[in-house]
Amino acid sequence: MLYGIAILPPNEIQQDANSYRKRFDPYYKAIQPHITVREKEDWTEEQLQAASLHLQHVTEKQAPFQVNFNRFSSYYPVNNVIYMAFKETQPLIALHDEVCTGPLEDSGKPYNYHPHLTVGQKMGADELHDVLASLKNTAVDYSFTVDALHVLGRQENGEWTVIRSFPFQG
């Protein structure tokens, strides 16, 4: 089964993100707005158990922290993705680096981790430029406390659901 590790923002942010996602993200119905901490992978039950134990250890010492979305941005020309960007990414990168150790060591990725919340993808270049031009003028100021990690699993119908949550205890 495919599993991934993510942060779920509060409902207010999810609703705002979904107002864009329902028009610009073909995966809108399959997965709720999230910040990927570790990309999806096919895990066995044993790998899921090892990952869960590791995440329990990581979150036992992790204190909640504040983050802030402050703009829309894009990965163009590398990828036709529009996302909500963070003002400061270092706390999220540090969390990612801690998660991706031990049984979740993540080597061989062709790119560096860049935390974000996708609001549009799989667009042509012209559509991406039009949408991004309009979003660049949209004020974004959402702060929230990151206080848990979630393991999401892809169900047989293609939808992603929370399998287990790991609240921060540090």
**Catalytic annotation on 96?**
no
Which residues, in sequence order, are bridge partners of residue 40? none
Q: Before 33, cis peptide (omega within 30)?
A: no
Catalytic-labelled residue, pool 114, 116, 129, 150:
116
DSSP letter for each residue of 16-84: HHHHHHHHH-TTTTTS-S-EEEEEEEE--HHHHHHHHHHHHHHHHHPPPEEEEEEEEEE-TTT--EEEE
**Catalytic annotation on 34?**
yes
State the DSSP code for 148.
Answer: E
Catalytic-labelled residue, pool 34, 54, 96, 150:
34
Residues classed as catalytic: 34, 116
